[in-house]
Structure 1
Amino acid sequence: MSLRASAAHLNPVYRLVAVAGLTIVAASLHHSASSSHSARWRARHPSHKAIAMRVLIRTYDFDDLGGSGASMRTVADFLQACGDETWAPRGRETLERLRAWSPGVVLGQQWATEEASMWAIALGVPFVMFVRGPGQYEHFMPQCDLVVFNASSQLELALPAIGRTPAAVLHPPVLPADYATDGGGSHITLIGTGALKGADRFLTLARKFPDHPFLWVTDEPSEAPPSNVEVCPRTPNMRSIYARTKLLVMPSRSESYGRVAIEAAMSGIPVVASDLPGIREATAGHAVLVADEREWVTAVRNVLANIEPHRRAALALAALRDPSVELEALRSRLQALVDAGRRRPTLSLCMTVANEAATLAKAVASVREVVDEVIIGVDTRSSDDTAAIARTLATDYFEYTESSPPDFRRMRNRAMERVPTDWAIVLDGHEWIENAHLIRPALETTAWSIEIRTLFEPDANRIPGLSFPFPRIHRRHVRFVGAAVHEEVSTPVARRSRQIDIRVWHERKPGSAATTRGAEKSGAELDVLRAAWQERNDRRALFYLANGLRESGRLEDAVEAYSTYLEAPNFEEEGWQARLYLARCHAARQAWPAAKQCFEQAILAWPERAEAVIGLGHVLLAKGEARHAAAWFRMAAGLPEPSDCRLFVEVPAYRWQAWHGLALALDRLGDYAGALEAETEAKARGAGAWADVNIGRWRALSGHGTGNGAGS
């Protein structure tokens, strides 16, 4: 099957065949083509306007002697010769200067890709990434309007990652005027350094042909060569190298394309090369390819013994690579991008659900206006109308059978593997998004995952029990990892952005799904977490194991698990959270000295957090130290809710819990008027209906001066 046919369902693939290259020396920040090269290109394109496009180029190797730098210079020169203006800044540039220049498109490659992508986002213009080797696109995963690969084989490898992103192939450009000689050289030549370029194989060949001169073009010879090998440093004048070359060898172990084979062909120099996909594509049947390492000596000897047919094959390869047509195709593609403007990022909703009939439609409706695809997988064990509802809502519906407890990594990844768009937002069937209109602007980022605010299990007054940022919006290549029952994402922290104004409300309704999940969390899920800790030393699993034991009332086991975890926390904030929960376990067991010590340690570690301060207040209250407790509750009441935490913030602690604790302490001190005032404040801040009972009691007591105190 052809590349076009195999990729047709995913990608508009624009085939830009191998094009010729130029060596250009830029005299200023703005790229200036040499007059001879410009004249050559303009002779072919006399009708272009003075400036049709402004193309901003970001690459850190623009002035390199060969490779990707030379290829990008060729593209820049061709565009200038067609009447376009290009700018390839050498150093750092301010956004103000870039914006003032007003480019229509940004090109980037290699290690400059991320910066170039950021420029395009800030300027609001299309971004084109040039990929020069395997894995480069996957390494950066930028938001692209077009991805240009240097070989069809590289594009095929990247198809799972690029999805629907438009892609093209532009082979590294080679121009005869820069490389052509009379082909009368005498050396067997290698251009390159190290094992990947096959330097060791080259030196072995030199030893097998001691009477033949060899030429090694390298700045870093890996070892002392035999006496018949001349080492020559890299040079901008590659014609001088090919003028001395009779046969080019490419004993590479890895090549994304093999540009030097085309350069040599311009002089009719035969090529013997490793049989690699990139080299096969570059040479198009016009070179001798060696698949078995043991056949190198034979292959070289055979070519030297009958070289003329191989010279003719090289010249045929040179004739095959006409630059003008394919560079013109690239330019037309760039012009279309400039005319169309920056491509809108695409987004899928990803869901895997079971027994969510009561809430599934609300979840989908909360984002339906901003997503392009709705992917819903339904567990075959679901017993309500979830499957029927999902079929009416999904653009991509599938079924699966999940284990109990569920493997959340596997479950999430089932849906992520079906994502055809740039981005995916992951929701449960009992969740819904607030401020979905902010999602689209948030996708204009170089991040791989976007953390949004999760509001967990709100009460009757819509105050969530927990608030925490969690990555919910992901580039399509992101996958879920970690312990099976508490999944994480593969995105490094440095590759995440945060949009806390986008909120996801997590509120599971009572029913079979909630009942099943509760049983799993206190039963089989603990076994999965324990196995992850004991068998793989997964400390994240240990943290969640301790949490599960605490929530299940197994306090002694939880104390042991938290204590073990705290010997080497994963990161500082999670360590603080574990110490807070350990203190609560001690308090629940009425181990007051241990509880007091743990709460105090948590306060010292993070004095801005109210949860530990409130916990210490309740311990002091239980010990009969109401006056000291009141002081701690007052301190907690003045602390603002933090907004920059990685883990859980207990929202009620910053709304009403400190005021309620203060009311209890003042009640113990006989200050019923103060207790009434504090509980009234707690009620105004969202305390439950029980606060009304306390307010009534303290109102009565403050009038009579006696009473039995308050509850809750």
Structure 2
Amino acid sequence: MVVDPMKICAFVHFAVPFRNAGSETMLHAMLKSLAAAGHDVTVVTTDTPQAPQQYQWDGIQGLSRPGPYAAAAAVRDLAPDVVLTQHQNTPVALDLARAIGSKSVFLMHNDFDLNRAYLERSPDLVVFNTDWIAEQYRDQVPRSLVVHPPVWAEQHATEPGDCITLVNCNRDKGAAHLYYLAMRIPEVRFLGVIGAHGQQIRVGGRNVEIVEHTTDMRRDVWSRTRVLIMPSVYESYGMAGVEALASGIPVVAAPTPGLRESLGDAGVFVDRDDMDGWEAALRELLDPAAYEAASARARARSAELDPTAELDAFVQAVEEVSGHARPRQRRRPRGAPRKAADS
């Protein structure tokens, strides 16, 4: 039990359930871990006009305010011990934390140049979402750790379907690949899932179905998917691929550093512009023996990616940087799969 709980505030532009992209779902899992450890957690958003001014979701308190200045006032009123932030609100959040005497935690999801300016504001703790990004910046920050985007396999595992699927039908994620491959492999069904960000490209086709953005990926996507394609221009990690692995769904992906780190030996990597290679990889997975071997590798990789230890380390790091760490019994984050020792 925590003897000295913290008051923690996440100052961000979007949050679950009003935006369910990778950054938001990662943040939500991390906030749940802090709440499960006994801390008082609130998320304040600047760009969710569809949200009520005050709400609760999955055990996390939420406040919606129109823009960074109104949100900053709400954070100031909360007087948190720690301010977490990510993406575009980072400069305001880091300056605010310093002004009100709070410790700051910056969640860094990519290696874009803009992050160098954020790091110059000297956050007290930097959380990198991958090892490959951490290696580029670790020497520039006084305290950091890596937390890969948490995926609980039990929340996604299901019986795979029969479609070749793309999640997020924007250009950079590979919408053109989806439609072109569907024409080249007409005997197979393709599924496109409307994403949470980017301009979505909807093109009809005899063997292509487009489904709307969903918060129930297991039922609406993974239960219909045989193979996931990720021909992305950029992926710092690739949560969708890790979710697919939980069901033994093979992932054919462009070899970005993030996808190589997340998928490991389970990934089938093809250069983004090699359309003949994409078709060949997918046709190979139509063979039952090849598919079963790839599926076994996917399940094995999924088992390696249990996020429990990294989330525990994150909670401990936030407690230590705030000066609120106390001896306590570690608790399993809410939503985490139950292990034998917990039963």
Please indicate the TM-score interval, normalised by the length of the shorter structure: 0.7 to 0.9
- Which of 275, 297, 304 aligns to 2:279? It is 297
Give the distance between the partners of 1:249 and 1:197, measured in 2 at CA. Answer: 9
Structure 1 or 2: more helix by fraction: 1
Once superposed, which parts of structure 1, at least 4 consecutive aligned residues long, lie more than 6 Å away? none
Q: Does 1:235 align with 2:214?
A: yes
Cα deviation 1:260-300 (Å, max 9, x = unaligned): 11010111111111111110001121111113613111111
Larger relative contact order (Cα-Cα within 8 Å, sequence gap ≥ 6):
2
Cα deviation 1:309-356 (Å, max 9, x = unaligned): 111111111111112211000111111101189xxxxxxxxxxxxxxx
Q: Does 1:203 align with 2:179?
A: yes
1:152, 1:169 within 8 Å by CA — same for their partners in 2?
A: yes
- Which of 118, 141, 162 aligns to 1:140? It is 118
**Counterpart for residue 30 of structure 2:** 75
Q: Does 1:329 align with 2:313?
A: yes
1:214, 1:228 within 8 Å by CA — same for their partners in 2?
A: yes
- Indicate how the Cα distance of structure 1 residues 312 and 50 shifts in structure 2: closer, same or farther if over 3 A, else same: farther
2:72, 2:93 within 8 Å by CA — same for their partners in 1?
A: no
1:137, 1:158 within 8 Å by CA — same for their partners in 2?
A: no
Give the distance between the partners of 1:272 and 1:99, measured in 2 at CA. Answer: 46
1:189, 1:216 within 8 Å by CA — same for their partners in 2?
A: yes
Q: Does 1:101 align with 2:54?
A: no
- How far apart are residue 94 of structure 1 and its match? 5.6
1:272 match: secondary structure:
strand
**Counterpart for residue 60 of structure 2:** none
Give the distance between the partners of 1:277 and 1:77, measured in 2 at CA. Answer: 28
- Indicate how the Cα distance of structure 1 residues 51 and 182 shifts in structure 2: closer, same or farther if over 3 A, else same: farther
Q: Does 1:53 align with 2:6?
A: yes
Structure 2 spans left out of the alignment, 5+ residues = 45-63, 326-343
1:61, 1:68 within 8 Å by CA — same for their partners in 2?
A: no
Give the distance between the partners of 2:71 and 2:252, measured in 1 at CA. Answer: 44
- Indicate how the Cα distance of structure 1 residues 130 and 316 shifts in structure 2: closer, same or farther if over 3 A, else same: same
Give the distance between the partners of 2:146 and 2:72, measured in 1 at CA. Answer: 32
Q: Does 1:338 align with 2:322?
A: yes
The amino acid across from 1:152 in the alignment is: D
Give the distance between the partners of 2:217 and 2:3, measured in 1 at CA. Answer: 32
- How far apart are residue 134 of structure 1 and its match? 2.2
Aligned length: 290
- Which of 238, 244, 247 aligns to 1:258? It is 238
Give the distance between the partners of 1:49 and 1:163, measured in 2 at CA. Answer: 32
- Indicate how the Cα distance of structure 1 residues 221 and 98 shifts in structure 2: closer, same or farther if over 3 A, else same: closer
- Which of 70, 85, 90 aligns to 2:40? It is 85
Cα deviation 1:562-602 (Å, max 9, x = unaligned): xxxxxxxxxxxxxxxxxxxxxxxxxxxxxxxxxxxxxxxxx
- How far apart are residue 225 of structure 1 and its match? 3.6
- Which of 167, 180, 186 aligns to 2:162? It is 186
- How far apart are residue 194 of structure 1 and its match? 2.4
2:127, 2:147 within 8 Å by CA — same for their partners in 1?
A: yes
Give the distance between the partners of 1:79 and 1:198, measured in 2 at CA. Answer: 35
Q: Normalized against structure 2, the TM-score is what?
A: 0.79
1:99, 1:123 within 8 Å by CA — same for their partners in 2?
A: yes
- Indicate how the Cα distance of structure 1 residues 297 and 127 shifts in structure 2: closer, same or farther if over 3 A, else same: same
**Counterpart for residue 48 of structure 2:** none
Q: Normalized against structure 1, the TM-score is what?
A: 0.39
Give the distance between the partners of 1:94 and 1:247, measured in 2 at CA. Answer: 44
After TM superposition, the structure 1 = structure 2 runs for residues 3-82 of structure 1, keeping only pairs within 5 Å, are 48-49=1-2, 52-63=5-16, 64-82=19-37
After TM superposition, the structure 1 = structure 2 runs for residues 270-419 of structure 1, keeping only pairs within 5 Å, are 270-291=250-271, 293=274, 294-305=276-287, 306-339=290-323
Give the distance between the partners of 1:221 and 1:102, measured in 2 at CA. Answer: 40
2:293 match: secondary structure:
helix
Give the distance between the partners of 1:168 and 1:193, measured in 2 at CA. Answer: 32
Give the distance between the partners of 1:178 and 1:198, measured in 2 at CA. Answer: 26
Give the distance between the partners of 1:299 and 1:317, measured in 2 at CA. Answer: 19
Over the aligned positions, Cα root-mean-square deviation in angstroms equals 2.1
Structure whose CA Rg is larger: 1
**Counterpart for residue 154 of structure 1:** 133
After TM superposition, the structure 1 = structure 2 runs for residues 459-474 of structure 1, keeping only pairs within 5 Å, are none
Give the distance between the partners of 2:124 and 2:222, measured in 1 at CA. Answer: 38
